[in-house]
């Protein structure tokens, strides 16, 4: 009987040109060494980072908040494992919610967004970062800009001759606005009898020993770099 011919072993296809890698090539060996060294360095840096307390890499900066808009305080930190973040304003802790929003943009960037800006948001804001190995903190100010406005104008007034008349207006603005009063379109020249005072939230015009000549249309106006406002009242003295 004739013997069957032995089966031929499949021949492996030659790799495409340019895809061969000779592990004995000195350049390949050097590249492998560099990769291993880089990995060891990365692992060492990570281990050091894990064991260290949090650090502020880029501090907070003062920001300007326009009334009605939002502002964001941003800080870059180094902290591992994940730290506990606490924001506060003038020493009082802020809760994450509709008004204040805690933001984590990537592993190193944390931010606080303050929404619906108003004058009350003016103040010192602080971040406190804590992990099992320690803590760090930083702070900055939010500066609020509010157009000058009259919240409530003076009331129309009727008075008797010889009495004292006072006109009061509620004002606001940041920077603090310039304030003035006029009578029948003419700036009031202050003296001991007719004068006005300017407070942080109000301005008051005082007329002592009122006479019929003091009757007329009075205007109060406020102005700062962001805007102006005015209000009128009628005074009748008889």
Tens digits of residue pLDDT in 40-54? 444 444 444 556 899
**pLDDT for the residue numbered 106:** 78
| Cα–Cα nearest to 135, from 77, 185, 176 | 77
pLDDT for residue 232 is more than 80? yes
pLDDT for residue 214 is more than 70? yes
Across the chain, mean pLDDT equals 86
pLDDT for residue 225 is more than 90? yes
Question: What integer is the mean pLDDT of 70-94?
Answer: 93
**pLDDT for the residue numbered 192:** 96
How far apart CA 40 and CA 16 sit, in angstroms, is: 33
- Residue 179's pLDDT band, with cuts at 50, 70 and 90, is very high
- pTM greater than 0.85 (yes/no): no
């Amino acid at each position: 009987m004739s013997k069957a011919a032995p089966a031929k072993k499949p021949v492996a296809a030659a790799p495409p040109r340019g895809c061969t890698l000779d592990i004995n090539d000195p350049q390949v060996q050097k590249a492998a060494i560099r990769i291993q060294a880089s990995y060891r360095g990365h692992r060492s840096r990570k281990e050091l980072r894990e064991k260290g307390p949090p650090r502020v890499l880029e501090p907070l900066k003062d920001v300007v908040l326009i009334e009605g808009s939002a502002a964001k305080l941003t800080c870059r930190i180094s902290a591992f494992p994940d730290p506990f973040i606490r924001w506060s304003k003038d020493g009082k802790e802020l809760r994450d919610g509709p008004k204040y929003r805690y933001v984590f943009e990537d592993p190193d960037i944390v931010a606080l967004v303050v929404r619906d800006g108003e004058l009350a948001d003016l103040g010192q804001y602080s971040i406190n970062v804590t992990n099992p190995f320690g803590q760090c903190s930083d702070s900055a100010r939010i500066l609020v800009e509010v157009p000058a406005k009259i919240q409530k104008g003076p009331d129309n007034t009727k008075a008797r001759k010889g009495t004292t008349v006072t006109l009061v207006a509620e004002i606001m603005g940041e920077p603090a606005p310039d304030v003035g009063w006029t009578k029948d379109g003419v700036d009031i020249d202050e003296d001991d009898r007719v004068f006005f005072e300017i407070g942080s939230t109000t301005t008051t015009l005082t007329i002592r020993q009122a006479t019929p000549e003091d009757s007329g249309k009075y205007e109060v106006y406020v102005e700062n770099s962001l805007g102006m406002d005015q209000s009128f009242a009628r005074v009748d003295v008889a």
